[in-house]
């Protein structure tokens, strides 16, 4: 039996087809910025007030974990007050459950390793398949104490027994005033580097003069690293990012060198931008239906690289405009494109669904790291797009999508516990009959109210079972 109000928990949702989607929307706060601000605020001296925060599973597991570490956090709607401390670890910390939040497990692993204490960080089964070994190995090299992955697959659970970091500079080891130098790989996830960057001011509070982090080889998802630096600066940290030139890369395989110096974090008042990855679904709704959607609270200068999704839609034929507080997509994404999405990989699934309605194939490149996310976002995405009638070639680094002639066919689609699979695939239902999305509640990870907000924007009810 189906209804127009969600049953709890819903088995499936089907978006009702209709004409062009037009309207304005302000998505909830950015997951990436909320979790960064929570980490910095927790390790700051003094109190911070964060406004416009995202309230979802990914931020709840961060908040729960910080509370277990002794941080006082008070929540009032989307405002969060954090009483920070550079010593965030009490004597005994309960096991930390991180669900499937990559930012939480990677940022906390680095921060708690720098702060010291004993911890176990674990999550849902998929979290125990998501890599963290490169980060753990980088930390193990500077750890006073030990840090290991519990199982040999290089994924969480992570066990930490730490007395902080030790200096490795020529000034002499393990002496206050020394420098800490870390090296980390960057080809699987940028979250390792972001985690190390945000942890560095804690080592400085503990007496080290500076922390240098060298990225070995390629660095994926680069805009998130800039976002990390900007957030840290808002909390008083001093940080410089140096992209190495080709000669330097060839010589020592270091692509980026980050230096954190100055002092520790200071509490502050911090406003979070709306989530740009979430915004991609609403811009895509305009692009698929030939409508006009304005997302409020974001501009091309936003800290989140995913606002770049509008440029991609523009390449496909949409009109993109913006003012000082909004970004608008108008008209159909008429033509397929060949696009490198390394910097905006959370919008690959959104683009894939837009591509189903364009003329000609779309090739998405340079997103091999998408296989390590909530699910394999290349292989599993290809599988669901084929059910809609598309011809999909899966590549090691992405996909080529040839849209079905006559538009997508009706299908019942798996979501693999991946919020972005549910949100993006549901958009096919705006123009194709009978696109049923299983387990729509998986959007709780970053956007619990997604289907309600989509319903309001399109002005017609979904069908729930």
Ligand X SMILES: C=C(OP(=O)(O)O)C(=O)O
- Span from 95-103, 117-125, 320-328, 405-413 in contact with ligand X (CB under 6 A): 95-103
How far apart, in Å, are the Cα atoms of 331 and each of 210, 284, 349?
50, 10, 20
**Could you say which of 346, 380, 418, 453 is catalytic?**
346
Query: By CB under 6 A, is residue 32 in contact with ligand S3P?
Result: yes
Query: By CB under 6 A, is residue 65 in contact with ligand X?
Result: no
**With CB cut-offs between 5 and 8 Å by kind, which of ligand X, ligand S3P, none does residue 446 bind?**
ligand X
> Which of 30, 59, 101, 234 is the binder for ligand X (CB under 6 A)?
101
Query: By CB under 6 A, is residue 189 in contact with ligand S3P?
Result: yes
Query: By CB under 6 A, is residue 134 in contact with ligand X?
Result: no
Q: Shortest gap between Cβ of 157 and ligand X (angstroms)?
A: 16
> Which of 100, 101, 194, 362 is the binder for ligand S3P (CB under 6 A)?
194
Find the binding residues for ligand S3P in span 231-260 (CB under 6 A): none
Binding mask 347-376 for ligand X (x = CB under 6 A): --------------------------xx--
Q: Which is nearer to ligand X, 264 or 398 (CB)?
A: 398
Query: By CB under 6 A, is residue 224 in contact with ligand S3P?
Result: yes
Can you state the angle between helices 419-426 and 379-387, rounded to 10 degrees?
30
- The C-alpha atoms of residue 462 and residue 465 are separated, in whole angstroms, by 10
- Span from 99-107, 159-167, 174-182, 393-401 in contact with ligand X (CB under 6 A): 99-107
56: left (phi over 0), alpha (psi -120 to 50) or beta: beta
Neighbour tally for 394: CB within 10 Å:
14
> Which of 101, 191, 206, 350 is the binder for ligand S3P (CB under 6 A)?
191
Query: By CB under 6 A, is residue 445 in contact with ligand S3P?
Result: no
Return phi, psi of residue 141, to 5°. -70, -20
Query: By CB under 6 A, is residue 369 in contact with ligand S3P?
Result: yes
**With CB cut-offs between 5 and 8 Å by kind, which of ligand X, ligand S3P, none does residue 101 bind?**
ligand X
Q: Shortest gap between Cβ of 377 and ligand X (angstroms)?
A: 8
- Span from 11-19, 184-192, 249-257, 383-391 in contact with ligand S3P (CB under 6 A): 184-192
What is the SS3 assignment for the chain? CCECCCCCCCCEEECCCCCCCEEEECCCECHHHHHHHHHHHHCCEEEEEEECCCCCHHHHHHHHHHHHCCCEEEEECCEEEEEECCCCCCCCCCCEECCCCHHHHHHHHHHHHHHCEEEEEECCHHHHHCCCHHHHHHHHCCEEEEEEECCCCCCCCEEEEEEEECCCCCCCCCCCCCEEEEEEEECCCCHHHHHHHHHHHHHHHCCCCEEEEEEEEEECCCHHHHHHHHHHHHCCCEEEEEECCHHHHHHHCEEEEEEEECCCCECCEEECCECHHHHHHHHHHHHHHCCEEEEECCCCCCCCHHHHHHHHHHHCCCEEEEECCEEEEECCCCECCEEECHHHHHHHHHHHHHHCCCECCEEEECCHHHHHCCCCCCHHHHHHHHHCCCEEEEECCEEEEECCCCCCCCEEECCCCCHHHHHHHHHHHHCCCCEEEECHHHHHHCCCCHHHHHHHHHCCCCEEC
Query: By CB under 6 A, is residue 346 in contact with ligand X?
Result: yes
- Span from 100-108, 111-119, 146-154, 257-265 in contact with ligand X (CB under 6 A): 100-108
Residue numbers in the known binding site for phosphoenolpyruvate are 31, 102, 130, 191, 377, 420, 445
Find the binding residues for ligand X in span 425-454 (CB under 6 A): 446
Q: Shortest gap between Cβ of 350 and ligand X (angstroms)?
A: 11
User: Is 43:232 a contact under the CB 8 Å cutoff?
Assistant: no
Query: By CB under 6 A, is residue 102 in contact with ligand X?
Result: yes
User: Is 369:361 a contact under the CB 8 Å cutoff?
Assistant: no
**With CB cut-offs between 5 and 8 Å by kind, which of ligand X, ligand S3P, none does residue 194 bind?**
ligand S3P
Active site residue 346: yes
- Span from 46-54, 90-98, 217-225, 247-255 in contact with ligand S3P (CB under 6 A): 217-225
Binding mask 10-29 for ligand X (x = CB under 6 A): --------------------
Query: By CB under 6 A, is residue 342 in contact with ligand S3P?
Result: no
Find the binding residues for ligand S3P in span 96-135 (CB under 6 A): 103
Burial (CB count within 10 angstroms: exposed 0-12, middle 13-18, buried 19+), residue 176: exposed
Residue numbers in the known binding site are 31-32, 36, 102, 130, 189-191, 221, 346, 373, 377, 420, 445
- Span from 204-212, 219-227, 257-265, 448-456 in contact with ligand S3P (CB under 6 A): 219-227
Query: By CB under 6 A, is residue 331 in contact with ligand X?
Result: no
Residues that bind ligand S3P (CB under 6 A): 32, 103, 189-191, 194, 220-221, 224, 345-346, 369
Catalytic residues: 346
| Residues of the shown chain interacting with ligand X in the complex, contacts defined by CB under 6 A | 100-103, 346, 373-374, 420, 446
């Amino acid at each position: 039996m189906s209804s127009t109000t969600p049953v709890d928990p819903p088995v499936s949702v089907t978006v009702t087809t209709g004409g062009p989607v037009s309207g304005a929307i302000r998505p909830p706060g950015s997951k990436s910025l909320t979790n960064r601000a929570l980490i910095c605020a927790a390790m700051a001296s003094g109190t911070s007030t964060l406004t416009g925060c995202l309230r979802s599973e990914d931020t709840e597991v961060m908040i729960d974990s910080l509370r277990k570490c002794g941080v006082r956090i008070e929540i009032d709607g989307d405002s969060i007050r954090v009483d920070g401390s550079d010593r965030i670890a009490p004597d005994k910390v309960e096991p930390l459950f991180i669900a499937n939040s990559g930012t939480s497990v990677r940022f906390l692993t680095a921060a708690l390793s720098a702060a010291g204490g004993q911890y176990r960080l674990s999550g849902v089964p998929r979290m125990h398949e998501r890599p963290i070994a490169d980060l753990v190995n980088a930390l193990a090299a500077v750890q006073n104490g030990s840090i290991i992955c519990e199982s040999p697959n290089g994924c969480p659970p992570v066990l930490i027994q730490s007395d902080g970091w030790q200096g490795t500079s020529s000034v002499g080891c393990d002496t206050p005033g020394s420098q800490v130098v870390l090296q980390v790989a960057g080809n699987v996830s940028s979250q390792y580097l972001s985690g190390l960057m945000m942890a560095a001011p804690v080592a400085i509070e503990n007496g080290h003069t500076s922390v240098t982090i060298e990225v070995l080889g390629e660095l994926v998802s680069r805009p998130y690293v800039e976002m990390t630096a900007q957030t840290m600066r808002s909390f008083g940290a001093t940080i410089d990012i140096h992209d190495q030139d080709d000669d330097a890369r060839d010589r020592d395989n270091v692509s980026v060198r980050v230096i954190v110096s100055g002092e520790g974090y200071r509490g502050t008042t911090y406003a979070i931008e709306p989530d740009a990855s979430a915004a991609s679904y609403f811009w895509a709704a305009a692009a698929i239906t030939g409508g006009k959607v304005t997302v409020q609270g974001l501009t091309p200068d936003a800290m989140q690289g995913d606002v770049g999704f509008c440029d991609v839609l523009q390449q496909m034929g949409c009109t993109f405009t913006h003012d000082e507080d909004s970004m608008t997509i108008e008209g159909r994404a008429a033509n397929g494109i060949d696009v490198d999405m390394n910097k905006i990989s959370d919008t690959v699934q959104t683009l894939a669904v837009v591509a189903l309605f364009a003329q000609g194939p779309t090739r998405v490149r340079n997103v091999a790291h998408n296989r390590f996310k909530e699910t394999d976002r290349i292989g599993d995405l290809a599988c669901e797009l084929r059910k809609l009638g598309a011809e999909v070639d899966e590549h090691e680094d992405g996909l080529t999508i040839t849209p079905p002639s006559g538009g997508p066919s009706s299908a019942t689609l798996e979501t693999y516990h991946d919020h972005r699979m549910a949100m993006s695939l549901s958009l096919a239902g705006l123009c194709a009959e009978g696109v049923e999305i299983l387990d729509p509640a998986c959007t709780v990870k970053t956007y619990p109210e997604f289907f309600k907000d989509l319903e309001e924007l399109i002005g017609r009810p979904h069908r729930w079972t």
